[in-house]
């Protein structure tokens, strides 16, 4: 069965420090991985998708199929990065998208 694991519920970092959010997945097929962000009291927004290999707001994520991971990284955290981050796994082309439990990031000055 497919599963998405985000081991950290809360990540507290200082402004300017690097931040890494861990995401591991379990799926026997070919996965599509995403990172979504939810700022306080706002809707979820797509941040990154592995297929596009882009960098958004300074964040990057690399799919490591060997380790079944899709960790999110940013070299220098900013206060506006404080939010809830969700890793998500798409397992077919039919719209089924499974989320992890989320990691709350708090960036302190």
Residues near another protein (CB under 8 A) = 6, 9, 32, 34, 42-46, 49, 51, 86, 88, 90-102
Give the shortest CB-109-to-another protein separation in angstroms.
Answer: 27
Give the shortest CB-35-to-another protein separation in angstroms.
Answer: 12
Closer CB to another protein, residue 77 or residue 89?
89
Give the shortest CB-67-to-another protein separation in angstroms.
Answer: 21
Closer CB to another protein, residue 5 or residue 78?
5
List, in order, residues 6 or more apart from 7 with CB less than 8 Å away: 22, 24
């Amino acid at each position: 069965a497919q599963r998405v694991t985000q081991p950290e519920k809360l990540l507290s970092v200082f402004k300017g420090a690097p931040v890494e959010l861990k995401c591991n997945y379990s799926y026997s097929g070919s996965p599509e991985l995403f990172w979504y962000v939810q700022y306080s009291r706002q809707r979820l927004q797509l941040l990154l998708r592995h297929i596009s290999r882009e960098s958004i707001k300074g964040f990057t994520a690399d799919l490591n199929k060997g380790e079944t991971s899709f960790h999110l990284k940013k070299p220098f955290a900013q206060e506006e990065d404080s939010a809830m981050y969700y890793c998500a796994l798409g397992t077919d082309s039919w719209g089924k998208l499974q989320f992890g439990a989320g990691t709350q990031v708090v960036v302190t000055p």
